[in-house]
Structure 1
């Protein structure tokens, strides 16, 4: 299958603004994106300060006719979901939402990008917010490991600096420096406006000309961006951190995008480190047990060389042996047979690219990225063709250049570790789903969607966290990690190889109320792949070596979570709220409970829960209804009928305060209230409250983050259980301000408990919720997941389509009543503070 040629148009306004229009009436949604060709590479005299990222924050403070609050409320009222991000070479602003909001989205983007207010009174306040963000990054081991890798691999190239900037250089940014940077870099000739979704192209062109045509073209030379000199020898970087395992990166410089060797490196990365059947994963994790996790990746930019890298985690005792084994694998790579592995890699990459076309946001990102990198909207199509044309000889020749003397090795060790010695055209027709019950009691939900030749099968089984007790805590997480690793007929390597040769994915996850398994693939392979899914569900092997590897990996994740302030705060709050049982158990378990889990425990869990009466399978995507029903009935029908599993009743209690201490820079606060069940009528009102408390136009963000500058992170989260739920508030702040931040958070919660959502904001919140629902119904994967969970809880297979109508009828009075009920009791309060 070839990647479809784009039907999008490319045009330029007289001032140099590039305009990409991709009308697609398949769904009434829109993605509007402005790509500014400036990032941390382009900061000139301010290099390393993070001024690009700082400016990204400041443009949200108002612009054009909009004040800061008016920007947020206007986007929210139009149902928009907006955000931005900054990388080395770009800053991207995007709004996704209903097609009816396009006019508002365009006006907001034009105002904030080209005529931002950049209020001087907000300058120092926003600086404090970003200082908290910098501290959060320095608390995150993955962030620290990534910084170490880039600073080791690059010596002169600006990519050696973190995009967010170094704290000392960031502190030196002046207000004139920020505004001057905006004037010099945010010019229309350096920008691309890309729209994808349901709109009339001719009508939109006039809007764009009116809103964007009056901005002046830029002037002045581009900043000189240095390139790294030729690497003359290996480079090494090492640091220590509070992590349970060593994080290792081996990286090599590779040519820029457009060089004929780049497709070869992409294919080699997939062969070596993409998926469970990849060579490094299979040889060094599964067979030899040297790595806890391992992957490979390749990354290049236009006009600037990139990296081929292998990232891994290992216990410190096996770190050096793992590095030597990786180098041995690379040395042997050119002499091995590659044809079958390359065919699998091409299919994997094609499947991934096809999936990006299922949403308006994905299509807009693909088009804008193609323009940014290649000035060619069909670059993805041409690049996939280049991958197809790349031979095994090409890959061998490219990989032979990755010698040890050209390597950059970075290691983030525990503190006590010794130093080392693709797309069918969418249609307006939406086929109706159907739901059938098999003789063994299993339910099959079929949700056809012919837009793209892919499918997703989502399995939901009654189990999850509420099926555990403290003595076997972590069972469901370990079960989910081990389930896809082989069956009684096939080894883990055979299963992974078969899946990945079809570009398919298979995974499992554990939730609060269910065990989930998901398979995705290309539609022509459905007859091959669905029987494999059934085989995994009915005949899992639970090999002892797989269990031990996953236990080691889960233990490492548990230790890392125990050092994360936000995770710790919620763990403590939930444990008390639910009396340490059911939903109060930590999903990863404890080291003691994990040590006691074995093949017998997993097999017993499978026997009790994987029965027809406990199972729902939802299939969404492009397939023939009759054929899919027959294939699923044959495979899933092999499960025994069994008896429905009924979860135990939850115990809920509140009014308790907990404090914990970690060696971190930030303080975190979590407040936990008893939420509602998955079928409670007030769940819709609570969703409105959650949105109101999380949105950038909501009271928590405006008061605590914007007005007072007390927190970088503040918001609300919730989950629904069988008979009880959880509704939590959280914030991350400077330790010296934690008491004030807590008082302000409690004050804002009290206002919500008394008043609900103010009437002048109610419709904006409703619009945002409705937009979230629409955006979440674009891809087969999200549709299948929603349908499977709904049916598992006894709701109709079409419930996900009906939810929007429910939100359309909800009233401020109903939300106020739900807020009073939810927040009328004293919560469990957990504070995590820096040690010492």
Structure 2
């Protein structure tokens, strides 16, 4: 049997991963992938908002900003300049349970990338002057978040749901606390959390695994081993109680978010909760979209299961008119009750499963996404409808729901715990909207003319009557990208500005015998959506499906 080429799609996304734990405790992961001549290096540090005692709330995010602000070998700005000179870019993110730093650049620059990343990780100076300047940037970021109604509502929900656990805090910190951080604070957190045993370095791209491992050993192998400080969040006591809070502010629409405590990420119920959230809120075929968005009860609605290391949260969020909040709460309660009592029908479960598989596959398209995803796990294929129902019944209890409602200053009635509890205690068991029938595709019309094709680089170019067909194989990800585009002969006249964009948006609202809903269902069953696009010199639409 012939060996699989690095350009062939892997049968599993973890195929070919080389894992090595250095004597100091640092974990190296390397996967060869030659679908593009680039490499991604992701440094994953197991330290985030949950690791912060109250006096240091938000310090993980501050350190993320400071890590690339200079080392003993590199001054301020040198890390970004050297990375850009090597043809790459940098970025980072902080979450509740980890902080990640990544760089993507041509594969020939791997040695330089590891040298830069290791230097920043191990030798950041955290200059006091730079810290003072960067804290002002972070404080402005925190203020912008306060001006984002959905962020305020969601973070307030955590405060309502939890009494002791650190997830209840405003995660990036607030101005008073941030302004008080000193270099000693930030360096103390850095020295006690950024240690080899808490660090994973993941390398994915057009590299030789043996050479990549050798380069990584050289950069990280002499980092002295150290025990990371352990400062766990206080344990959250169990409770069964309906809670609600109403906020008021300078907003034009109401923001409504409901939540339940749910399973942590490695719990056996986690995949079923992912699917439950997708059945309720993923795509136009979801129950909540059909019940709330389609008839105009809300302007947007979504459902999510989020699970950092220690806990899980199942949430439903909607934006709507203040006057329609009671109707929306009743409709959400009816959908959740039905899911917990009866579970999803087969076609809804398969639609949700396909959307989640496609979402996962999209994460693996880029080298950066694949390198980041090596720390995650996927277990969707074996979940049954009765397991989704059981998970919903176990966690989405009517007497354990919490809610936050953010209203304009002078509009709408407050949402009380009593009203919320009544809505979930007595809800109408309405069937989910029926999926529109999907007609079998019409047979393709034969092409009478002889086709001519040519290959340029990796692209197959075929001339069709009235169109050019371009095909390029992208190995490694089980997705197909399909786009149909037409050049624009001229710009829209001033009196009709936007006409081209309106035309292409209208084109995806119906096709043949399919109306907008049926068209959306058809694409969601394939794991994608059909989206319009308009630029100054072209118009078109495209999709990405499994």
- Counterpart of 1:420 (choices 409, 414, 423) is 414
Which of these residues, 382, 387, 403, is aligned with residue 394 of structure 1?
387
2:463 aligned with 1:436: yes
Among candidates 376, 387, 400, match of residue 406 of structure 1: 400
Partner of 2:525: 501
Which of 13, 17, 25 is matched with 1:8 structurally? 17
Q: Hey, what's the Cα distance between the residues in 2 that align with 1:336 and 1:492?
A: 26
Q: Secondary structure at the match of 2:278?
A: helix
Q: Deviations over 1:706-765 (max 9, x none)?
A: xxxxxxxxxxxxxxxxxxxxxxxxxxxxxxxxxxxxxxxxxxxxxxxxxxxxxxxxxxxx
| 1:47 to partner: Cα distance | 4.2
- How far, CA to CA, are the matches of 1:186 and 1:220 in structure 2? 7
Kept after mapping to 2: 8 A contact 1:461/1:514: yes
Mapped to 1, the partners of 2:230 and 2:136 lie a distance apart of: 30
Flag structure 1 segments of 5+ consecutive residues without an equivalent: 371-378, 422-428, 523-836
1:40 to 20, 30, 49: 49
Q: Is the 8 A contact 1:503 1:521 kept in 2?
A: yes
Report the secondary structure of 2:311's partner residue.
strand
Report the number of matched residues: 495
2-structure distance, mates of 1:293, 1:31: 35
Residue in structure 2 matching 1:306, options 312, 319, 331: 312
Instruction: Please say if 1:485 is aligned against 2:509.
Output: yes
State the 1:452 CA deviation: 3.4
Task: Tell me the distance in 1 between the aligned counterparts of 2:72 and 2:490.
Answer: 50
Pair 336,390 (structure 1): closer, same or farther in 2 beyond 3 Å: closer
CA RMSD of aligned residues (A): 2.4
Query: Is residue 211 of structure 1 aligned with residue 205 of structure 2?
Result: no
Distance 1:450 1:130, change over 3 A: closer
* Counterpart for residue 652 of structure 1: none
> How far did residue 364 of structure 1 move?
0.3
1:488 CA drift (Å): 4.9
Q: Is the 8 A contact 1:56 1:86 kept in 2?
A: yes
Can you give the 5+ residue segments of structure 2 that lack an aligned partner in the other structure?
1-9, 416-455
Provide the secondary structure at the position in 2 that maps to 1:226: coil
Q: CA deviation at 1:72?
A: 1.9
TM-score, normalized by length of structure 2?
0.85
Instruction: Give the superposition deviation at 1:461.
Output: 4.0
Closer/same/farther in 2, CA of residues 416 and 444 from structure 1, 3 Å limit: farther
Alignment check: 8 A CA contact 2:492 2:499 kept:
no
Q: 1:32 deviation in Å?
A: 0.5
Contact persistence 2:343–2:385 (CA under 8 A): no
Counterpart selection for 1:198 from 206, 214, 225: 206
**Structure 2 residue 107 is matched with structure 1 residue 113:** no
Q: Residue 409 of structure 1: SS of its match in structure 2?
A: strand
1:134 is matched with: 142
Do the aligned residues in 2 keep the contact of 1:454 with 1:521 (CA within 8 Å)?
yes
Aligned runs of 1:729-744 on 2, under 5 Å?
none
- Structure number with higher relative contact order (C-alpha < 8 Å, ≥ 6 residues apart): 2
Matched residue SS, 1:400:
helix
Summarize the Cα distance change of 1:475–1:136 in structure 2 as closer, same or farther, 3 Å threshold.
Answer: farther
Q: What is the deviation of 1:306?
A: 0.9
2:370 pairs with 360, 363, 370, which one? 363
Give the equivalent residue in structure 1 for 2:132. 124
The correspondence for 2:279, drawn from 271, 278, 281, is 271
Gap change, CA 1:312 and 1:117, over 3 Å in 2: same
Whether 1:291 and 2:298 are equivalent positions in the alignment is yes
Partner SS for 2:181: coil
| Per-residue deviation, 1:466 | 4.5
1:452 aligns to 2:488 (yes or no): no
Task: Give the structure-1-normalised TM-score.
Answer: 0.56
Greater shift, 474-483 or 404-413, is seen at 474-483
2:28 maps to 1:19: yes
The structural deviation recorded for 1:290 is 0.6
Distance (Å, rounded) in 2 between the aligned partners of 1:94 and 1:151: 31
Q: Equivalent residues in 2 for 1:740-779 (5 A)?
A: none
- Report the equivalent of 1:795: none
Q: Does structure 2 conserve the Cα–Cα contact (< 8 Å) formed by 1:16 and 1:188?
A: yes
1:478-535 alpha-carbon deviations (Å, 9 max, x no partner): 555554333451233322222222223212234444443111212xxxxxxxxxxxxx
Structure 1 residues 294 and 463, CA gap change in structure 2 (3 angstroms): farther
Superposed CA deviations along residues 640-692 of structure 1, whole A, max 9, x for unmatched, are: xxxxxxxxxxxxxxxxxxxxxxxxxxxxxxxxxxxxxxxxxxxxxxxxxxxxx
Shift of 1:450: 4.7
Q: Distance in 1 between matches of 2:210 and 2:108?
A: 16
Rounded Cα–Cα distance in structure 1 between residues aligned with 2:147 and 2:252: 14
Distance 1:246 1:262 in 2: 30
Aligned to 1:319: 325
Answer yes or no: is the 8 Å Cα contact 1:255–1:306 preserved in 2.
Answer: yes
**Would the alpha carbon gap of residues 204 and 389 (structure 1) be closer, same or farther in structure 2, given more than 3 Å must change?**
closer
Q: 1:459 to 1:142 in 2, by over 3 A?
A: farther
Tell me the SS of whatever aligns to 1:297.
Answer: strand
Structure number having the greater helix percentage: 1
Q: Is the 8 A contact 1:64 1:112 kept in 2?
A: no
Contact 1:84/1:92 (8 A) holds in 2? yes
**1:464–1:515 CA contact under 8 A, matched in 2:** no
* Deviation sequence 1:253-275 (CA, Å, 0-9, x none): 11112222211111111111111
Aligned residue runs from structure 1 range 65-104, under 5 A: 65-104=73-112
Q: 1:71: Cα distance to partner?
A: 1.5
Cα distance, 1:209–1:84 mapped onto 2, change above 3 Å: same
Does residue 187 (structure 1) correspond to residue 188 (structure 2)? The answer is no
